[in-house]
Amino acid sequence: MSNTASPTNAARAKASCSRCHRRKKRCDRELPACKNCRSARVKCSLTDDNSQTASYSVAYVRGLERRLQELRSNLVPEPQMSPPVEDCLIDTGNDQSFSDSAVADIMGPNPACEGQRPEYFLDPLPPKDLPIEPRLQESEVHIEPLAPEPSPTFDQELKSVSFSVAAERHLGSTSGLSFAKLTQMVLRRLTPDRADFVFDNPQRSFNSDQLFDFDSSLDFFNSHVFETLSESIPSHPTLFGDILLADTIEPTDAVSGLSLPTNEVYSKRLVDFYFAHSHTLYPILVKSDFMQTLQQVRDNPLDPAAQCPLALFRVWMVFAIGSTAYSSVTLMEESESRIYYSKALEYFERAMALGEMAALEVIMLQISYSFFNQLGPNTWFLVGMAARLAVGIGLHIESTYASWPINIQQHRKRIFFSIYMMDRVVSLALGRPFALHDDDIDVSPFTEASEDDIHADGIRSQVSLTPSIISVPLHILALRTIAGKIAKQVYSNRRALSLTVEEREEILHSLHKELIDWRRNMPFPLPDISDRVPHFSTNWYDFNYYTHVAMLYRPSPLFPVVDERKIKILEEASSMSLRQAFNMHQQQRLAYNWLNLLALFTSTLSLIYAITVQPTDLATALKETRAVDDLDLSIELFDTLGIKFLAAKKIRGMIAEVSRRYKDLRTSL
């Protein structure tokens, strides 16, 4: 048997071995000995280093958990066959979430779940010091073949997307995990005996749409499906400790000797796309300063200003982000952006050492890159680091800015509120607490003025009727603020149980009104500098409006059980969000990244839930709505997403089978 572990299940130390560190070589950190030392036939320091700890992929840990459960079930046989406890419980972690009674109100009692107990009440494994019975001696042990892989599920797909970003286990209520489970439960309505349905074995080919077994009573929510998204979107959670971030990328002579692209037209396209796309989402850099630096690096690379590590890191990261952002829209391969990112990491440590603001910029550029490409450290940790550093500097307090010139004030406000927006996006996707809280922030947002109008002694008034390009991120900031309110007031409101129905309705009404005002007040006309930038299209604003409305009206801790009016609003919002995404897809403006993958999956789940939970006859309801056609749009979107994400193929098959069953019901009348 080979001693080399497969890349998917190898344990890896947090730091390089001593030999590789001294020789400045790339160490794969594989335990118990790295590949370089094994090849050289020398002893690796990792073998004897008791302080080393390892990290495993999410999929590998999940596999171990499944195997442990199989062994436990063999040692402690159940007295009778019964459906898994996950059918009876909605896992909510430490967050408020809708209760089991909410599901009971919709689906009615489930007799199969009576008398169940959570698996943490099962008898533990026997202690190691128990004497071994003769019948268990090694010569008589019969090893059973491995059980087939459990069936994939909606909620596990959602977990896998989120784990690929965070690499930790906790998912809160805004992540949609509990809602995914609720959607599966209401889909019992599509089965003759109100039983759950499952996917076929995930090892089968995905060329077939037949992934569901609607007539099976097996558990639909097991622990397998969502893990595959971790394979689609690699994650590197080992950010802390003494590992060098540059170790996450293979340093090669080709990268070390890489110079700026000689084709200035091509490099200009990358820079222009960065400032059109990423800069109008998160205005981190000052464009005029960057262009001056780029020209210095081109014209006089030996000039001390052109040799600044921060300047060089900034240049290569702009190339990397511009390239990966463009690839996310065009679905081009991304080897180029990875090379640029690897080159930028050569200057990472020296740039980080240039002060707090330099370190903050370095981290934020990595966050921007991670939204499109999970090549480096995971987004969750990076956003947390940036938020802590910004608070440590005092960027959340207005008085901190008093001693700075006006242009520096505005630049640093843009940096701070870019972190704020990043925090809202990632925390809401994972259902986790915000790193920056509105109650702690007393600084006003940056002004709607172009860089040319901002000077050290003041801001020149704008005379043009066309809004500044900075109005775009300023308007997106308003959306992120509303999203934060939805998370706080709808999904983590500790007073929810004590509020009257009228008070809870008022919360929804006021937040819905804020969303309507946000959509009505969008910048007009939008910039017309690139036909591939999603947020330069009104469809992007419609898409975000409807996804937030759906988030507002789906079952939540504020309203665990929704009435018919809310179901209709949820159906319309989720349908419209899919239509707007499809419009951007046809215009070649949709970014095929993990954020939109998660948003489209949640919108599709919302639509499936809203259709199936209708109080009227389901076949009649399906004839009166365009929902089935909208599901077909979703199928086409996930077809395209499947080019980049393996799990999108599974999700596409799930949706296709639900759509097929809906069509069968619709034509049965």
Q: DSSP secondary structure string, 338-349?
A: HHHHHHHHTTHH
Question: In one letter, which amino acid is 211?
Answer: L
Give the angle 319-478-497 at the CA atoms, nearest 5°: 125
User: Is the domain of 18 the same as that of 77?
Assistant: no
Q: Would you state the pLDDT for residue 152?
A: 56
- The pTM of this model reads 0.72
- Nearby residues of 515 by Cβ (< 8 Å), 6 or more positions away: 482, 545, 548, 549, 552
Query: For residue 46, what pLDDT band results from cuts at 50, 70 and 90?
Result: confident
- Residue at a domain's end among 232, 247, 264: 232
Domain for residue 112, yes or no?
yes
Q: How far is residue 508 from each of residues 190, 515, 557, measured CA to CA in Å?
A: 31, 11, 12
| Helix, strand, or coil (residue 174) | helix
Residues 41 and 165 occupy one common structural domain: no
Q: Give 43's pLDDT tier (boundaries 50, 70, 90).
A: confident
Q: Is the pLDDT of residue 53 over 60?
A: no
42/62 same-domain check = no
Count of C-beta atoms within a 10 Å radius of residue 90: 19
Determine, yes or no, domain membership for 461.
no
> Are 20 and 69 found together in one domain?
no
Are 119 and 151 part of one and the same domain? yes
| Dihedral sign (CA 597, 599, 602, 606) | negative
* Residue of 80, 174, 249, 144 lying closest to 485 (CA atoms): 174
Q: Indicate if 25 and 117 belong to the same structural domain.
A: no
Q: Are residues 175 and 140 in the same domain?
A: yes
Crossing angle of the two packed helices 356-370 and 379-393, in degrees rounded to 10: 150
Decide which of 31, 55, 79 is a domain's last residue: 55
pLDDT in tens, 434-454: 999 999 999 999 999 999 999
- Give φ, ψ of 455 to 5 degrees: -130, 170
Q: Give CA–CA dist 221/208, Å, rounded.
A: 21
Per-residue confidence (pLDDT) for residue 617, from 0 to 100:
84
% of the chain residues with pLDDT over 90: 48
- Give the long-range contacts of residues 212-220, CB within 8 A, separation 24 or more: 212/654, 212/657, 212/658, 212/661, 214/190, 214/657, 214/661, 215/191, 217/83, 217/112, 217/193, 218/151, 219/83, 219/84, 219/86, 219/87, 219/150, 219/151, 220/151, 220/153, 220/154, 220/184, 220/196
Quote the pLDDT of residue 382: 93
Assess whether 106 and 181 both reside in one domain.
yes
State whether 138 and 149 are in the same domain.
Answer: yes
Token pair recorded at residue 524: 């007009």
Instruction: In whole angstroms, give the CA distance from residue 89 to residue 618.
Output: 26
355 part of a folded domain: no
| Residue 4 maps to a domain | yes
Q: Phi and psi dihedrals of 236, rounded to 5?
A: -125, 90
**What are the tokens at 117?**
């107990």
Neighbours of 566 (CB within 10 A): 18
Q: Domain range spanning residue 24? A: 1-55
**Which stretches of 346-453 are DSSP H helices?**
348-352, 356-370, 379-393, 406-430
Reply yes or no: is the peptide bond before residue 32 cis, omega within 30 of 0.
yes
Give the model's confidence band at 429: pLDDT under 50 very low, under 70 low, under 90 confident, else very high: confident
Tens-digit pLDDT profile for residues 541-558: 999 999 999 999 999 999
CATH number of 31's domain? 4.10.240
- How many CB atoms within 10 Å of residue 218? 16
Per the model's pLDDT, the better-predicted residue between 74 and 217 turns out to be 74
Do 51 and 68 sit in the same domain of this protein? no
Instruction: Verify that 212 and 72 share a domain, yes or no.
Output: yes
Would you say residue 73 has pLDDT above 90? no
- Residue 104's pLDDT is 42
- pLDDT (average), residues 234-248: 34
How far from the centroid of its chain's Cα atoms is residue 471's Cα? 26
Angle, CA 97 vertex, CA 613 and CA 493 arms, to 5°: 120
Angle at 532 (CA atoms; ends 528, 535), nearest 5 degrees: 65
Q: Which residues contact residue 516 at a Cβ distance below 8 angstroms, ignoring those fewer than 6 apart?
A: none
With 0-12 CB in 10 A as exposed, 13-18 as middle and 19+ as buried, what is 134?
exposed
pLDDT tens digits, one per residue of 306-359: 899 999 999 999 999 999 999 999 998 888 898 999 999 999 999 999 999 999
Tokens of 438: 């509105």
Per the structure block, which two tokens stand in for 297? 């690096």
Determine the Cα–Cα distance for residues 487 and 499; give it in Å rounded to an integer: 17
pLDDT at 76 over 90: no
Quick one: the chain helix, strand, coil %, rounded to 5? 60, 0, 40
Higher pLDDT, 51 or 159: 159
Nearest to 376 by CA among 155, 165, 626, 130: 165
Dist. CA 643–CA 627, nearest whole Å: 25
113, 53, 125, 62: which is closest to 88 by C-alpha?
113
pLDDT digits (tens, 9 = 90+) for 457-497: 999 987 788 889 999 999 999 999 999 999 999 999 999 98
Q: Measure the CA–CA gap between 124 and 12, rounded to whole angstroms.
A: 29
| 351 and 245 Cβ atoms separated by less than 8 Å | no
Residues 6+ apart with CB under 8 A from 327: 333, 334, 336, 337, 372
Number of Cβ within a 10 Å radius of residue 94: 7
**Domain end: 208, 232, 256, which one?**
232
Q: Which residues pair with 12 in a beta bridge?
A: 30, 55
- Residues 158 and 179 occupy one common structural domain: yes
Q: At residue 621, does pLDDT exceed 60?
A: yes
The answer to which of 149-153, 397-401, 572-576 has the lowest mean pLDDT is: 149-153
| Any domain includes 90 | yes
3-state secondary structure of 483: helix
- 3-class secondary-structure state, position 416: helix
Beta bridge partners, 212, equal 199
pLDDT average, residue stretch 631-653: 93
Among 613, 607, 600, smallest CA distance to 659 is for 607
Instruction: Say if residue 92's pLDDT is above 50.
Output: no
Cα distances (angstroms) measured from residue 213 to each of 200, 413, 612, 661, 665:
7, 53, 17, 11, 16
Work out how many domains the chain is built from and give that number: 2
Q: For residue 420, what pLDDT is reported?
A: 98
Quick one: which H or E segment has residue 543?
Answer: helix 538-553
